[in-house]
Amino acid sequence: GAGVSQTPSNKVTEKGKYVELRCDPISGHTALYWYRQSLGQGPEFLIYFQGTGAADDSGLPNDRFFAVRPEGSVSTLKIQRTERGDSAVYLCASSFSFQGAGYTFGSGTRLTVV
């Protein structure tokens, strides 16, 4: 597509529930990134895919967070047993894979855990 698409745009869930956030990157971008942005903060790195594999998952806060990209295109960020502290805007971005390539960001998914 023309841009990075993220669905849903908003998600409200109860504490303890499981959620999935979807990202559809720009066609031809082999690199895909997930970031989390809390109020008043800059985006915080979570995980980066090169193709189907997670090249760097050092930003995932704990084992409740998991992400997949099975066919090297669409990615899903999965959060188990959600906590109120998980409330944030989850951003997806994609890029070409050369060093210094700028990202194209999606509009994000605003997750609220109540």
Stretch in the footprint of another protein (CB under 8 A) among 10-18, 66-74, 75-83, 97-105: 97-105
Q: How many CB atoms lie within 10 A of CB 56?
A: 13
Does residue number 65 form part of the binding site for another protein (CB under 8 A)? Answer: no
Question: Contact with another protein (CB under 8 A): which of 13, 22, 64, 105?
Answer: 105
Beta-carbon contacts of 97 under 8 Å, excluding residues fewer than 6 positions away, are: 30, 31, 50
Give the contacts of 74 (CB within 8 A, at least 6 positions apart): 22, 23, 24, 25
Nearer to another protein, 4 or 113 (CB): 4
Stretch that binds another protein, among 15-23, 40-48, 61-69, 70-78 (CB under 8 A): 40-48
